Amino acid sequence: MPYNFDEIIDRSGTCSIKIDVAGYGKPADALPLWVADMDFKAPLCVIDALEKQVRHGIFGYSDSGPEYYEAVRRWQLGHHGFDTQASWLVKTPGVVVALHIAVRGLTAPGDAVLIQTPVYHPFHTAATLMGRKLVANELVNEADSGKYGIDFDDFEAKIAQNNVKIFLLCSPHNPVGRVWTREELLRMGEICLRYGVTVVSDEIHQDFIFPGHRHTVFASLSPELSAITVTCTAPSKTFNLAGLMHSNIFIANPALRDAFVREYELYGLSQLGVLGLVACQAAYEGGADWLAELLAYLDGNLTLITNWAQSRPAAVKFRRPEGTYLAWMDFRSLGLSPRELDDLVTKKAKVWLSNGRQFGEAGAGFLRLNAASPRSVIEEALRRLDTLFPSEY
């Protein structure tokens, strides 16, 4: 069935961080395309399941049954070729929570944690807030194409020199939009095996993959890599369910899983909310067609952004993302500081984007645009940016 992703939905007054709770000193009339949630309704199968649960009227302590795991298992196997076991599953209230649990539970104070910058800012804080040493393997941005790659020599050197204990892998990568190839993942995995590094793989964007690319679950590459990996997945990005605080973490190695769970227990959490359980199961059971249409729609939005950027080469460089719905836009040619760039776009064009500096020093001069909005909203954002960067720029 066709889905109406063109529908404009008023999110004001709904406790939306994007609209209501944010502020952050931004102009009230700035178009918010910053935080990575979508302006689309969840699939009808999810809404129906939630309405049924709400009408039941009792919201007591809850946990999932075998049918929940079976829905999650089928999704991972059918969409990503990742064959799991029920004993591997640990449910947490979000992937960021899982990152913090993993860093604290699987390392000691002062241990080194490796990230690949520029990267989603909780990767930084998951290490620093826990008193761990943050080590960065900066991704290589090819000047001619804007494609990011991995400096494998630096990757290995950073691990060896700092005795890295955990590597936080972002796959697909937020914000640069890379879908790592099987070969790239295997090469990183071989290095991690050689030095005894545990891999915590954030694969929350795994369902946003565009034609010509394929997501490979890191832990699916080999039994050896599965044994050193904590795989973080969630329906939250895929089906716009982030507010339900629900993620599925897979850990095949019993010793690794026990250490993770022991740390998790210190947080005082046990069962998650029933609505997250219900929504996750419903999404994985009935949301595939909705997702297929969504991906086609997002592809159209990214085409608009690509065409706009290509007609303004003196101002911006943009490489279409291979995965995620996030547009990583390079404005370094303007020679502005991160604050100056942010003020220019937010206060003059009235478009609120994520400042690249929050993803690390390697993100200075970049802005991240969330393309998961109705097409008319993306068109309006580009019209506003036209006031700063006309086509002849």
| pLDDT tops 60 at residue 22 | no
DSSP assignment of 109-130: TT-EEEE-SS--THHHHHHHTT
The span from the CA of 392 to the CA of 118, in Å, is 30
Q: What is the DSSP letter of 209?
A: B
23 pLDDT band, cuts 50/70/90, is low
| pLDDT tops 80 at residue 364 | yes
The tally of CA atoms less than 13 A away on the side-chain side of residue 230 is 32
Where are the chain's structural domains?
Answer: 17-43+288-386, 58-286
Could you tell me the CA-to-CA distances from 196 to 9, 33, 103, 160, 375 in Å, in that order?
A: 49, 40, 15, 10, 46
pLDDT of residue 393: 67
Classify domain 17-43+288-386 at the CATH topology level. Aspartate Aminotransferase, domain 1 (3.90.1150)
In the block, which residue shows the tokens 């972002």?
170
Q: What is the DSSP letter of 138?
A: P
Written as one letter, the residue type at 5 is F
Q: What is the mean pLDDT of residues 348-362?
A: 97
Same fold flag, 17-43+288-386 and 58-286 = no
pTM of the predicted model over 0.95: yes
Q: Kindly report the average pLDDT of the chain as a whole number.
A: 96
| pLDDT tops 60 at residue 173 | yes
Pull the structure tokens for residue 300: 């159209």
| pLDDT tops 80 at residue 307 | yes
pLDDT of residue 26: 85
pLDDT digits (tens, 9 = 90+) for 309-330: 999 999 999 999 999 999 999 9
pLDDT of residue 269: 84
pLDDT of residue 21: 64
Classify domain 58-286 at the CATH topology level. Aspartate Aminotransferase; domain 2 (3.40.640)
Which residues, 6 or more positions from 175, have their beta carbon under 8 angstroms from its beta carbon? Answer: 118, 119, 120, 324, 326, 328, 354, 356, 359, 363, 366, 368
pLDDT of residue 19: 85
